[in-house]
Amino acid sequence: MAVLISQPKFQRIALLAACSLIVTYFLLERSDRIPYQANWEYVHTSFDWANRVPKYPIPESLMTRLPEGTPRDLAPVQHVFTEGELSETHNKTQADRRDAVRQAAIKTWNAYGEYAWGRDQLSPQSLRGADGFNGWGATLVDSLDTLWIMGLRKEFKQAVRMVAKIDWAKTNSRDCSLFESTIRYLGGLLSAYDLSGEKVLLNKAAELGEMLYAAFDTPNHLPANNLNFIAVKEGLLYASKRESTAAVGTLSMEFTRLSQLTGDPKYFHVIDNIKKHFERTQDTTKLPGMWPMFIDLRNDFITEDNAFSLGAMSDSAYEYLSKMYSLLGGLDETYKRLHMKAALTIKQHLLFRPMLPDSYPASPPDILFSGTVLSNGKIIELLPDVSHLGCFAGGMFALGGKLFHDEEHVKIGERLARGCAWAYDVFPTGIMPEISAVVPCKQTPELTQCDWNETLWREKNSAAPESGGRPLPKPFTVMRDRQYLLRPEAIESVFVLYRITGKTDFLDLAWRMWQAVKAATETKWAFSAIMDVNADGSTTKIDAMESYWMAETLKYYYLIFSDPELISLDDFVFNTEAHPFRLLKASGGGK
């Protein structure tokens, strides 16, 4: 039989203490892996948008449901990386690069937490919080999926606790931007839920969705981007008379994903209605195949404006066409048709090659840019603008090319991505400006290179508005906005093209871009936008660091140096704020 041997009292106390320490250690050590169904302190939004009586109700019997049927097996998008391509040396180099980006994210997050916690963004020079997006904590919500992807679980849980207390009815403004609230707040919540499974995030997304859905309570059920809270509660909301194409076209992914996750069809219905208007008008604009930068939503979706671009006011409306095809599992062919028609028009009229100096030791780089077109329906004028916002187009062309089996579009995407990377390289800071212009080659169907013309460049340069400071690199003629605002579009396309083509030189391009961005924007506490990318020496900082720095820029730099299976392009599709949504699969995944 067993014999219990009595122990001295101090030994028993020591043993109990040791056991307690061990248990505490494992609880703390595993705290970041506790299932995220914790009992957070949850604050319900103080105004019940779900029970608001609409002025222009949509009968449930008339609502368009999500497409039925088994999702299709979409064409593979991501390159299949072999062990040879991911050698030990390769992986070590990328791990060091990835860690450098992660440290920048930690530095950013710590500064936000100390000086601007719960505010929309940190002002990195004055070290105080600023609210430009209703004061709901844009950086907090926008950063959720970045924190998760980077393995910062403690910081993620800290953020979720704060998000659980957001009251969408308490704001520092009488209205909100439907577009910005959708891509940053709703997109951020849905993506973080897709990644973590934390139900509180879906609950907050559903509350916000009810409020944003009210923007469609107009006579024609097209949205008012300026969602005035008083007007909508009184039934006095109207669709916008002059709305940017981006604002109306960049709601579809978020509203669709919300319908997929909640089972409520109303969000998808209003998006499908917008799609039908885009489809109806695509061939009747002043540049058939594209929509102008501004649309009259109040009066039958009139598209009479004459400016067409992939830059500001238009960009993400085109980005979402192929991505909606993916998000719906290929069950709505309309999005494929819309994308392909738009891509054809863009290729024919907006894309151009810059005239490059003959100082290259070998052949000049094979690059493209996307400009702005003015058209009256017959006479078409190309403005050879180079917009940082438009740098997303490389990824758009390449993604559509893979989805729709068009290798020419993949190659166009690569040339566009390399164009923006080249524009980074030629400026003294290693970063391209917000908006600039170059001397273009004459447009040809093949978009072929042309000879350098020094006389023409000098004429264009002298005729351009004063740029100030040091001379511009050739072939740039003017910088209309010389700032860098911590934007992600250039690295976004470089990331997408690396994942699609597997070409490893994109990694070195990305690292060179990252080193330049870090050197030009880093401060003692965080990172700042800069005044002039053509500055020689130290840069003048701007007291601005928008939420997309964490949501997009740092995420794309981190992901390009990560294991390609981390957020694979075959499993996720990114919204325009770089929030990845899980794709539906034939096996039933994605719910």
At residue 241, the 3 state secondary structure works out as coil
**What are the tokens at 42?**
């949850």
Residue 115 CB coordination number (10 Å): 17
Q: How far is CA 84 from its chain centroid?
A: 32
**What are the tokens at 567?**
């957020």
Measure the CA–CA gap between 6 and 280, rounded to whole angstroms.
88
Asked, as a colleague might, if the bond just before 475 is cis with ω within 30 of 0, I would say yes
Neighbouring-strand partners of residue 123:
128
Catalytic pick from 142, 198, 243, 489? 489
- The question of whether 315 is a catalytic residue gets the answer yes
- Residue positions forming the annotated binding site: 576
At residue 4, the 3 state secondary structure works out as coil
Catalytic pick from 198, 207, 332, 434? 434
List Cα–Cα distances, 395 to 179, 435, 550, 567, 569, in angstroms. 21, 19, 20, 16, 11
- The question of whether 489 is a catalytic residue gets the answer yes
Catalytic pick from 142, 217, 305, 315? 315
Report DSSP state, residue 177: E
Measure the CA–CA gap between 467 and 435, rounded to whole angstroms.
12
Query: Residue holding tokens 């040091």?
Result: 470
Q: List for the chain the helix, strand, coil content (%; round to 5).
A: 45, 10, 45
Contact yes or no for 482/491 (Cβ under 8 A) = no
Which secondary structure element, helix H or strand E, spans residue 269, and what is its range?
helix 266-281
- Residue positions forming the annotated binding site for Ca(2+): 576
- The question of whether 180 is a catalytic residue gets the answer yes
Name the residue among 258, 49, 43 with its Cα closest to residue 166: 43
Contact yes or no for 214/282 (Cβ under 8 A) = no
Contact yes or no for 558/492 (Cβ under 8 A) = no
DSSP secondary structure letters along 485-550: ----HHHHHHHHHHHHH--THHHHHHHHHHHHHHHHHB-SSSB-EES-TT-SSSPPEES---THII
The catalytic residue positions are 180, 315, 434, 489
